[in-house]
Chains A and B, each alone.
Chain A
């Protein structure tokens, strides 16, 4: 496992800087940042993982959802320093080099996205559900995704996408 050392930003004035260690998509990253830096900003600007999107900054839209130690977390309301020592999975960690995750396939197969902005967060919320409940009902899926807003699709196809992925994962 590669260890990288990255300086997120230069210190300005008397702002304190913390050094933290996060495992992101299986890779250990050591980062220096202000304690007030949000996890979402660390991922996007610091680590250039721009698949995590920011829609609302208030924990409502869910576009910034990532997994922290396997649990779905809205990274716009978690400080980067709170992730110190934890494992983070972003959308970039779903596919392997050669293969898409069944959720990614499901979203494509069932037309579960339009503008694609909410999609990474949706898929990670769905992954947290499927990791816990491999055979969810439509109602389970709707409830699990109720923290993620989408303005394009009408949700029907998103639900179908998740159920498609669940079936594929069960058959694997």
Chain B
């Protein structure tokens, strides 16, 4: 007679458990950084440069000091006396904390003021007089590498031009040979425009230096508190045990809250100087013009094709605009992130990629906005190329993909760039998607509509994303290897405290992590408290970004639970007076083999760990695990979009969006679906409206939400989600793969391909994102490719 628990009842794996964290958020009782109030707290405001490139001739702070309530006016020169005018970035570059010599982008931090009240601090910033001598401005890679271009980073010894890096991967000779044998070569020049992740909550910090103890506590909006602690230890020359980083509730991250920003450093420095807590909360304009941009990449690609549709080779050159400082978190083995994950789900015999990063007079860019280190650009390139190749060959784009997919029985599959893709069922996902959207029927409707002067289009995008950075063989940030961690304490009554090195920014970790413990141990999820984000209590972890929480931290939670179970087994053997080998485990309970009614629960084992352990056993039931994944996990997805384009106006409406996500085992299906819908919205935004551009003087066009357009509930279409295909990761302890970014990564090409499909008789091959009505209208009426900013390739 089994007394096994039901995972559905205890909130285990696969249960759409309601979110634990919602309880405080819906009552307005979240605790975000701006909600922190400490006794004696002062307020900091930053003065930013109005110019994109200028020499600083003088900074006069005397008027600011005179304002009552001002406690400190800090300039770069003063910061330099503490060795803090410059800081290292997460990419082994340097970035000015407060500009001393030049400003290099609009919005760069020039000075800061600390005052009794944020209003006074703002007044005082306006009272600082800075004299600038304007310098020529560079706003794109073409200008950056042009002859005679002004040197942006003249602060760096040995930096003779504006190139950050040159990079290449793949087999050039083999790829050249493939192109020689091609029946058709399909080419596209694409621009993935600069975008800002723009969580609704801006960045901020509350730094509190205690002179008596020497301890620095910083509450801050960071996705990676332990990495920040390491960075602060290196920059401020304080030891880690005297630094506590607390990342409280975070109002969205999307990669924007990974880097170290000057505001954080200034608030720390000001707190040390004043010996009082200093709060800095960025405003939206400061956030949009100075913090982690993404994308801004020109992609110049070619596919070598056989007449029957077989892809023979892939070539691509990427020009990446990194702004004035190369400041994104960078896994050091991959200069340009995971761009070379492109075509990982297609059987491509030869491929060769080159990339060049440049400095320009823009804010530091290149963060992985809701993506795993540049995978968004890689998948956009892949799926736009595939769509165009099919059209160039006169093949159906779905059929073209089918002919080139890696077959499900060919996994694990080694890509031309060396990745080992663990598993997947691309064709099965495509089948589900095509059936859901009514593919054949839609193609007939499209033809029929075309005859009546209406323009319908259908776009497919497939993608696979390498998730779970890292494994420590290949991934590190600032030399710190990438893994993650969990610590589990089971109290004597069987209630538990789980601490994790990841850090939720809304992903629902408090809910799903408890479900993993519940699945592994049979402890009801409601009995497991989850804590993250405090470096004094959480085990060392690399934080949450690149959809790495479930693949890495989630695995660590499984592993620590299994360690607990192993000790509980010893306790059960002691309690039941049998040997461990005679015990069987069922969810939440050990029983004697063959005598199922003779058993003890995990809670009874927990009690025994504190009161009735065998002689010689260390008391307690707690442990920790550091998980270093053997490989990345590779979710796969198919996104299919149908649109109608109005030929009179260029406006396009989404008719239907179908998403088929195979992300392996789903811990909490409700939360997974929420993540997919959020990602699809960001994909729609990229394709439709969301981009930041700059004028020739380097003025950021899009410094507030009136100019930086984000979709609302009114524009955003509905989405149809499918979860029929499940390919568990072969190496993840519970077969999960990660999913939060997939739709944002793979989605944009589906929207663009759909609009391009609606225009497929016009000779137009490309319209660069965002597909604004005027761009679509221009393409329709002028019959030529439309680029928001012309792609550039200047051979050097």
Contacts and interface: CB of A to CB of B under 8 A. Distances in A.
A116 B200 contact: no
B680 A60 contact: no
B254 interface: yes
A108 B22 contact: yes
B35 A56 contact: no
B678 A123 contact: no
Contacts of B116: 9-10, 12
A13 B719 CA distance: 56
B25 A151 contact: no
A108 B19 CA distance: 7
B251 A117 contact: yes
A142 B716 CA distance: 9
Contact of A155 (B18, B675, B713): B713
A147 to B, nearest CB: 7
Interface in B102-153: 116-120
Nearest to B704: A58
Interface stretch (A16-24, A77-85, A88-96): A88-96
A58 B713 contact: no
B202 A55 contact: yes
Contacts of B67: 13
Contacts of A157: 674, 677
Interface residues of A, number: 61
Contacts of B596: none
Contacts of B594: none
Contacts of B68: 12-13
B706 A116 contact: no
Nearest to A154: B677
A155 B201 contact: no
A142 B201 CA distance: 22
A152 B256 CA distance: 14
Given A111-B670, A111-B671, A145-B713, A56 B284 contact: yes
Given A12-B120, A117-B252, A53 B32 contact: yes
Contacts of A141: 713
Interface in B3-19: 18-19
A75 interface: no
A145 B378 CA distance: 34
B704 A113 contact: no
Interface in A42-95: 44, 48-58, 60-61, 63, 90-92, 94-95
By DSSP majority rule, is chain A's interface helix, strand, loop, or mixed?
loop
A114 interface: yes
Contacts of A54: 34
A152 B28 contact: no
A146 interface: yes
B774 interface: no
Interface centre among A49, A153, A155 (most CB of B within 10 A): A155
B704 A151 contact: no
Interface in B626-685: 670-671, 673-675, 677-682
A94 to B, nearest CB: 8
A150 interface: yes
B718 interface: yes
Nearest to A51: B28
Contacts of A151: 197-200, 252, 254, 678, 682, 710
B671 A60 contact: no
Contacts of B712: 145-149, 155
A50 B28 contact: yes
A48 to B, nearest CB: 8
B582 interface: no
B520 interface: no
Interface centre among A60, A108, A115, A148 (most CB of B within 10 A): A115
Interface centre among A13, A50, A118 (most CB of B within 10 A): A50
A49 B28 contact: yes
A158 interface: yes
A92 B681 CA distance: 29
Contacts of A52: 28
B479 to A, nearest CB: 31
Interface stretch (B73-81, B353-361, B505-513): B505-513
A156 B719 contact: yes
A92 B678 contact: no
Contact of B705 (A12, A56, A111): A56
A34 interface: yes
A131 interface: no
Nearest to B505: A115
B285 to A, nearest CB: 8
Interface in A22-40: 34, 36-37
A28 B7 CA distance: 49
A100 interface: yes
A114 B507 CA distance: 6
A121 B283 CA distance: 18
B705 A58 contact: yes
Contacts of A156: 677, 716, 718-719
A57 B283 contact: yes
B704 A56 contact: yes
Nearest to B115: A12
Nearest to B710: A149
B773 interface: no
A61 B200 contact: yes
A104 B26 contact: yes
Nearest to B677: A154
Contacts of A92: 27-28
Contacts of B484: none
B761 interface: no
Contact of B35 (A50, A107, A108, A113): A50
Given A53-B251, A61-B200, A120-B28, A114 B678 contact: yes
B680 A154 contact: yes
B30 interface: yes
Contacts of B197: 151
A104 B710 CA distance: 25
Interface string A107-137: 1110101111111100100000000000000
A116 B30 contact: yes
A155 B677 CA distance: 8
Given A49-B28, A107-B26, A111-B674, A158 B713 contact: yes
B22 A113 contact: yes
B32 A117 contact: yes
A95 B249 CA distance: 21
A163 interface: no
Interface string B442-471: 000000000000000000000000000000
Interface centre among A13, A48, A55, A113 (most CB of B within 10 A): A55
A109 B120 CA distance: 43
A90 B29 CA distance: 12
A8 B67 CA distance: 20
Nearest to B683: A154
A91 B27 contact: yes
Contacts of A48: 37
Contacts of A57: 283-285
Contact of B27 (A63, A104, A155, A159): A104
A154 B119 contact: no
15 contacts: A12-B116, A13-B68, A34-B119, A53-B251, A54-B34, A55-B284, A60-B704, A113-B25, A113-B506, A114-B252, A115-B25, A117-B30, A117-B251, A145-B713, A156-B716
Given A115-B249, A116-B251, 20 more contacts: A13-B67, A36-B119, A53-B32, A57-B283, A104-B26, A107-B22, A109-B18, A111-B673, A113-B22, A113-B26, A115-B200, A116-B21, A116-B24, A117-B201, A117-B252, A119-B25, A149-B710, A150-B713, A155-B716, A157-B674
Interface of A: 9-10, 12-13, 34, 36-37, 41, 44, 48-58, 60-61, 63, 90-92, 94-95, 100, 104, 107-109, 111, 113-120, 123, 141-143, 145-159
